[in-house]
């Protein structure tokens, strides 16, 4: 068993920022990730970020991933790739699988920055080959340079649906339509307009009735829906496509936090069950931190700042307070509040408020 | 199905690797996963489901949904979406729970 300050589970934007922030204040973190490459979802994101310069607006997601990974290397922060955390034991041991061998790590502080997994919707044919999660499409296209198919029906008009549609077009795939059950487009209007200008219809108030095809997707039947989400008779349309992409939300990957016995609360605004945490991202169990999508589905820029707070929180927990640390914490918290201030941060703001309430009762 | 030109990305593919799918040689590039390389070769059906024997493909690509289980070098239930290809690897579509060989 290794002696270890700070174990970070998950090398996405949240985990990497936590490692860098913690190392700024003298901790020696270890980052483990089950993936071959560091960066989490960032490695597949080819669009430029929004927000202020301080939050790397105008930089592409994968470049941020490379930058953060490079900084990790520069500082000599230890990283284990291909190493999933597979269990948390009551004495504080985290079991990590590396090279087919199980390692028991007993860190003084631990951060779960495990991200999220994609939601599914069921309809007849939804199990056919050719139905993909948006993340899978991004992985295939942007990591491996492989098209998922020739023509796609996108389900969901949130930012992920819109962005991945645009990326499909850049990869030379025809996007037949984007359908959305709600009466309004879910994501940023700038993204939606860009896609609409390129001639892709965005059909709000529509759902998919079925995917057609014997062995793989050959098409889809879609229909208008009324305000009870019932199909409107006579409005059915056949869409010719070999790929159906689901961009219908994400659910936090909370296994480690459940196993650790952290207080969990169901907050729909945050994407489901999440661990209660304080201002420095510490859960109900001292020394266990959480940050990023696993504590509420938002975006990479907020995940980075939450990660930074968790790293600073771990430093404070293990080394105590200092004026310098407190300044950094205040600055990071302020930037995070700034990112969440706009109308698109409303859901996260409400969710986080609800979560804060849960501890007081 | 490979993307040759892209406005933003430049794909640096590793050296070529030949593996076998249902006994037939398939070429992929080092660093690719089994499911990705098969996909590039036009193979979308990766297995047949346990109960209804329905075809299944790629869904999550991150080892979380079990949609892509295949038989790799005689071992069933391998997550083909996160398993890198290797020279000479034998990959087969899995039927149901797959066949296991016990010694
Ligand atoms: C398809 C898709 C498109 C998106 N597009 C955008 C976008 O355009 N702009 C934007 O701002 N945001 C986007 N997001 C959201 C953004 O990617 C996330 O908010 C952000 O990546 C969250 O960061 P994270 O560090 O919390 O999680 P992740 O980036 O998901 O990283 C989590 C990491 O943890 C690892 N992990 C999980 N479980 C374990 C375990 N048990 N053991 C070891 N490692 C583990 C994973 O391998 C992964 O590397 C998108 C998300 C998706 C799914
Ligand atoms: S595609 Fe989901 S586990 Fe492989």
Q: What is the mean pLDDT of residues B21-46?
A: 96
Q: Mind giving me the DSSP string for A192-259? A: HHHHHHTT--EEETEEEEEEE-SSS--EEEEEEB-TTSPBPTT--EEEE-SEEEE---EEE--HHHHH
On the question of pLDDT at B7 being above 90, the answer is no
pLDDT at A50: 58
Average pLDDT over residues B60-87: 94
Q: Which of A114, A120, A122, A158 has the alpha carbon at shortest distance from A136?
A: A120
pLDDT reading at A53 higher than 70: no
Average pLDDT over residues A261-282: 97
Q: In this model, does residue A230 exceed pLDDT 70? A: yes
Task: Evaluate if residue A48 carries a pLDDT over 80.
Answer: no
Angle, alpha carbons A123-A114-B85 (nearest 5°): 75
Per-residue pLDDT band for A308 (boundaries 50, 70, 90) equals very high
Q: How far apart are CA A113 and CA A111, in angstroms?
A: 6
For the ranges A258-272, A335-349, B6-20, the one whose mean pLDDT is highest: A258-272
Question: For ligand 2, what atom is nearest to the CA of residue B58?
Answer: 1
* C-beta of residue A204 within 8 angstroms of C-beta of residue A180: yes
pLDDT at residue A343 above 80?
A: no
Tokens of A186: 């879910």
Contact A171/B3, CB-based, under 8 Å? yes
pLDDT exceeds 80 at position A360: no
Q: Can you give the pLDDT at residue B5?
A: 84
C-alpha span between A308 and A314 (Å, rounded): 10
| CB distance A267 to A297 below 8 Å | no
Statement: residue B12 has pLDDT above 90: no
A232 within 8 A of A207, measured Cβ to Cβ: no
Both tokens assigned to A5: 């300050």
Neighbours of A48 (CB within 10 A): 13
**For atom 26 of ligand 1, which residue has the closest CA?**
A292
Quote the CA–CA distance of A16 and A71 in Å, as a whole number: 9
Span B13-33, pLDDT tens digits: 889 999 999 999 999 999 999
Pocket mutation for ligand 1, best pick of A11, A12, A18, A107 (most atoms within 8 Å of C-beta):
A12
Can you tell me the mean pLDDT for A80-95? 95
Residue nearest atom 44 in ligand 1 by C-alpha distance: A33
CB A154 within 8 A of CB A175: yes
Q: What average pLDDT is seen over chain A? A: 94
Closest CA to B72 of B99, B41, B48, B32: B99
Q: Does A146 touch chain B (CB under 8 A)?
A: yes
> What pLDDT is stored for residue A361 in this prediction?
54
pTM of the model: 0.92
| Per-residue confidence (pLDDT) for residue A1, from 0 to 100 | 42
Q: Which residues touch A230 (CB under 8 Å, ≥6 apart)?
A: none
* pLDDT mean over A105-134: 96
If one compares A46 and A278, the residue with the highest pLDDT of the two is A278
DSSP 8-class letter at B85:
P
**Cβ of A142 less than 6 Å from ligand 1:** no
Is it the case that residue B70 has pLDDT exceeding 90?
yes
CA separation, residue A252 to residues A174, A273, A291, B86 (Å)? 31, 7, 11, 33
Write out chain B residues lying below 8 Å of A49, CB-based.
none
Checking if the pLDDT of A283 tops 70, the result is: yes
Asked if A128's CB is within 8 angstroms of B55's CB, the reply is yes
Nearest Cβ partner of A170 from B1, B8, B58? B8
Kindly state the average pLDDT of the residues A9-18: 97
Partners of B31 on chain A (C-beta within 8 Å) are 36
Q: How far apart are CA A256 and CA A17, in angstroms?
A: 20
Mean pLDDT of A278-290: 97
Gyration radius of chain B's alpha carbons: 14
Say what the ipTM of the complex is. 0.94
At residue A91, the pLDDT reads 95
Check whether A58 has a pLDDT greater than 80. Answer: no
């Amino acid at each position: 068993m290794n002696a270890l300050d700070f174990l970070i589970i998950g090398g996405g934007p949240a985990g990497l920022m936590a490692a860098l922030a913690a190392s700024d204040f003298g901790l020696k973190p270890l980052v483990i990730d089950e993936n071959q490459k560091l960066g989490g979802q960032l490695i597949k994101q080819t669009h430029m970020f929004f927000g202020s310069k301080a939050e790397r607006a105008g930089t592409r997601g994968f470049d941020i991933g490379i930058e953060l990974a490079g900084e990790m290397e520069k500082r000599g922060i230890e990283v284990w790739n291909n190493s999933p955390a597979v269990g948390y034991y009551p004495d504080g041991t985290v079991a990590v699988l590396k090279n087919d061998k199980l390692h028991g790590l007993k860190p003084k502080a631990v951060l779960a920055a495990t991200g999220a997994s994609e939601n599914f919707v069921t309809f007849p044919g939804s199990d056919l080959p050719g139905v993909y999660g948006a993340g899978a499409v991004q992985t295939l296209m942007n990591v491996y340079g492989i098209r998922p198919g020739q023509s796609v029906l996108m389900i969901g008009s949130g930012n992920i649906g819109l962005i991945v549609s645009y990326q499909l077009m850049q990869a030379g795939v025809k996007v037949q339509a984007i359908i959305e059950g709600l009466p309004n487009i879910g994501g940023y209007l700038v993204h939606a307009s860009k896609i609409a200008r390129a001639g892709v219809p965005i059909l709000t108030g529509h759902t998919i009735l079925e995917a057609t095809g014997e062995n793989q997707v050959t098409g889809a039947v879609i229909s208008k829906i009324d305000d009870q989400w019932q199909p409107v008779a006579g409005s059915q349309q056949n869409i010719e496509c070999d790929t159906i992409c689901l961009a219908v939300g994400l659910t936090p990957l909370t296994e480690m936090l459940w196993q650790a016995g952290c207080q969990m609360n169901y907050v729909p605004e945050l994407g489901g069950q999440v661990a209660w945490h304080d201002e420095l991202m510490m859960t109900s169990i001292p020394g266990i931190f959480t940050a990023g999508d696993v504590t509420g589905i938002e975006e990479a820029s907020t995940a980075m700042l939450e990660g930074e707070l968790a790293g600073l929180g771990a430093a404070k927990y293990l080394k105590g307070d200092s004026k310098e640390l407190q300044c950094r914490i205040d600055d990071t918290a302020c930037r995070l509040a700034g990112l969440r201030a706009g109308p698109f941060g409303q859901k996260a703001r409400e969710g986080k408020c609800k979560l804060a309430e849960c501890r007081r009762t | 199905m490979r993307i040759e030109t892209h406005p933003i990305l430049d794909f640096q593919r590793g050296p070529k690797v030949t593996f076998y799918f249902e006994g037939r040689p398939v070429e992929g590039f080092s660093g690719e996963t089994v499911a990705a390389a098969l996909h590039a070769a036009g193979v979308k059906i990766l297995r047949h489901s346990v109960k209804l024997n329905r075809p299944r493909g790629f869904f999550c690509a991150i080892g979380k949904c079990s949609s892509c289980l295949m038989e790799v070098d005689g071992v069933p239930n391998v997550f083909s979406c996160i398993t890198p290809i290797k020279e000479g690897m034998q990959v087969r579509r899995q039927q149901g729970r797959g066949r296991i060989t016990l010694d």
